[in-house]
């Protein structure tokens, strides 16, 4: 049974109970700062590496890196973390969470996720008792899409 797997092409995402504006949201430029970090080549096509950040201190948003295919302006890959606004209640003392997702073209305008990689480290403790950090990793491959069939 598959639980919720985020698609970072979605306008809004539910991450750990927070409704977060995605980096491809139509109004993303109101929420995020994008900076060109590098220009690469993939199979003879230009790929832009963009850093993603935000100046908003009270809104749960993402930060990280996205890779965009030059000619089509399609996102090929995202490597994102929730910003520091995303907090968990006690007994969680610290929580580090990252999401990586790759996309592929499934004909015409259809760019769909082919995987989701989630990694994290959580530290749990209460007054006088602290547990060793707990790491986790989830990898999901998405396949067998049938577009408009």
pLDDT tens for the chain, residues 1 to 149? 456 789 999 999 999 889 999 999 999 999 999 999 999 999 999 999 999 999 999 999 999 999 999 989 999 999 999 999 998 889 999 999 999 999 999 988 889 999 999 999 999 999 999 999 999 999 999 988 888 77
pTM of the model: 0.90
CB 21 within 8 A of CB 28: yes
In a domain, 2, yes or no: no
In a domain, 55, yes or no: yes
In a domain, 25, yes or no: yes
Q: What are the CA-CA distances from residue 41 to residues 44, 50, 59, 69, 71 (Å)?
A: 6, 14, 34, 9, 12
Give the total number of structural domains in the chain.
1
The whole domain housing 19 covers 12-141
In a domain, 68, yes or no: yes
In a domain, 147, yes or no: no
How far is the C-alpha of 113 from the C-alpha of 145, rounded, in Å? 10
What pLDDT, on the 0 to 100 scale, is given for residue 3?
67
Q: How many residues does the chain have?
A: 149
């Amino acid at each position: 049974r598959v639980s919720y797997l985020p698609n970072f092409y979605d306008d809004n995402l539910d991450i750990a109970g927070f409704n977060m504006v995605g980096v491809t949201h139509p109004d993303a430029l109101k929420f995020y700062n994008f900076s060109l970090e590098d220009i690469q080549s993939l199979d003879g096509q230009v790929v832009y590496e963009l850093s993603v950040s935000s100046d908003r201190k009270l809104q749960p948003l993402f930060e990280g890196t996205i890779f965009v295919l030059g000619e089509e302006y399609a996102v090929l890959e995202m490597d994102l973390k929730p910003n520091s606004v995303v907090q968990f209640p006690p007994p969680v003392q610290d929580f580090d969470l990252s999401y990586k997702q790759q996309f592929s073209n499934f004909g015409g305008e259809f760019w769909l996720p082919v995987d989701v990689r989630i990694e994290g480290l959580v530290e749990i403790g209460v007054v006088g008792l602290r547990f060793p950090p707990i790491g986790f990793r989830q990898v999901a491959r998405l396949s067998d899409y049938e577009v408009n069939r």
